[in-house]
């Protein structure tokens, strides 16, 4: 029997991609769900799919960068379910496409607000409830860019490195304090979601027209690098949570890059640049 059966699990960014598949995987394993997203249309679709499984689910529109809204949401979820066992801080944005020299401050503000402070907001808001449950779990979604840097992804890398550091610090505190909360950081590799394409849409929404090179990069990411189906990634994540793993690497690419960075910390940046020059050279 699944260890999440009957547990109350919260999933942010559940309107699409890994977040939606996490909700469905948890639902299949018998969890009671509270799901949220800024995309109310996508969220409604997720809620409908979870209900079709016969599981209890409540959806709510939520911007995880809004600290007050997240705190109110945590209180609402705890009040409705009576207890909260797990939080999957999954919501995120792409936050890339420009060099440090060219990037506008707005890119850093928005990326860090969602990807890093969204995780911090969710963790802090739900942590007292997780402790009270007596068997809590914090699951924070980082990225392979949480341990590997790439050019034109400085905002995204900063946010995902930050998620990793925050989560690992939280784990030490839960151990030191003897709190009944397990803590997991997740590093997905290339998962087939719409995150690369959304970066172009976000840029256009800010009045920035993507270059032909940026459009080509997104096409190649979608066709060549983002390969793992999101439902497979969700299964790996929930399997890791049920096994009590403190760190979950999703995909062979994440595992390979993890080894590369550990073995060749000084050389890997040059190898990454060489790889990108070959992979993304104008065609």
Which residues does the annotation mark as catalytic?
156
Query: For residue 189, how many other CB atoms are within 10 A of its CB?
Result: 23
CA–CA dist 84, 11 (Å, integer): 12
CA–CA dist 225, 111 (Å, integer): 22
Report the SS3 class of residue 263. Answer: helix
Instruction: Please list, in sequence order, all residues whose beta carbon lies within 8 angstroms of the beta carbon of residue 215, skipping any fewer than 6 positions away.
Output: 200
| Length reported for the chain | 283
CA–CA dist 132, 174 (Å, integer): 13
CB of 127 within 8 A of CB of 48? no
């Amino acid at each position: 029997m699944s260890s999440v059966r009957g547990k109350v699990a919260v999933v942010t960014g559940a309107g699409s991609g890994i977040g939606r598949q996490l909700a469905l995987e948890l639902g299949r394993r018998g969890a009671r769900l509270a799901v949220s997203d800024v995309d109310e249309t996508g969220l409604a679709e997720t809620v409908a799919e979870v209900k079709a499984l016969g599981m209890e689910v409540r959806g709510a529109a939520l911007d995880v960068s809004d600290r007050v809204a997240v705190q109110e949401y945590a209180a609402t979820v705890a009040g409705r379910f009576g207890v909260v066992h797990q939080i999957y801080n999954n919501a995120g944005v792409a936050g890339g496409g420009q060099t440090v020299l060219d990037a506008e401050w707005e890119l850093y503000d928005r990326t860090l607000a969602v990807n890093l402070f969204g995780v911090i907001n969710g963790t802090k808001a739900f942590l007292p409830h997780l402790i009270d449950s007596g068997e809590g779990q914090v699951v924070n979604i980082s990225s392979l860019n949480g341990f590997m840097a790439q050019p034109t992804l400085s905002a995204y890398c900063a946010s995902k490195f930050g998620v990793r550091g925050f989560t690992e610090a939280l784990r030490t505190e839960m151990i030191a304090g003897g709190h009944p909360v397990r803590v997991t950081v997740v590093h997905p590799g290339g998962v087939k979601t719409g995150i690369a394409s959304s970066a172009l849409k976000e840029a256009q929404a800010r009045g920035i027209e993507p270059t032909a090179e940026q459009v080509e990069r997104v096409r190649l990411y979608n066709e060549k690098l983002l390969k793992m189906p999101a439902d497979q990634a969700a299964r790996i994540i929930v399997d890791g949570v049920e096994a009590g793993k403190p760190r979950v690497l999703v995909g062979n690419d994440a595992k390979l890059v993890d080894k590369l960075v550990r073995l060749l910390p000084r050389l890997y940046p040059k190898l990454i640049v060489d790889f990108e020059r070959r992979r993304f050279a104008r065609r």
